[in-house]
Amino acid sequence: MPRRRLLSSFRRIARILLVSLGCLLAAPAVSMAQSPTVLVMRIDDTITPVVADHVEDGLRTAGGLR
């Protein structure tokens, strides 16, 4: 009888540890999914048509991240 109780207690502890480990492993994935993304563009010179196209591409990319 005591051996059965010991195995039952061991199984309970093992389940608690496995659930805790699963929660700890899942937590970074959840927090990363909720963190915002920031795109930064810096223009140090005159805005030429080539630079304007680059800005437009960046805005299009940023709009698609939502």
Each residue's pLDDT, cut to its tens digit, for the chain (66 residues) gives: 566 776 688 888 888 888 887 777 776 665 555 666 777 778 888 888 888 888 888 888 877 754
Same domain membership, residue 27 and residue 1: yes
Question: Which runs of consecutive H residues, i.e. helices, occur in 1-66?
Answer: 2-34, 49-64
The total domain count for the chain is 2
Task: Give the model's pLDDT for residue 2.
Answer: 67
pTM: 0.39
8 Å CB contact between 65 and 37: yes
Same domain membership, residue 8 and residue 22: yes
Same domain membership, residue 62 and residue 49: yes
Which domain covers residue 11, as residue numbers? 1-35
Tokens at 18, concatenated = 């496995």
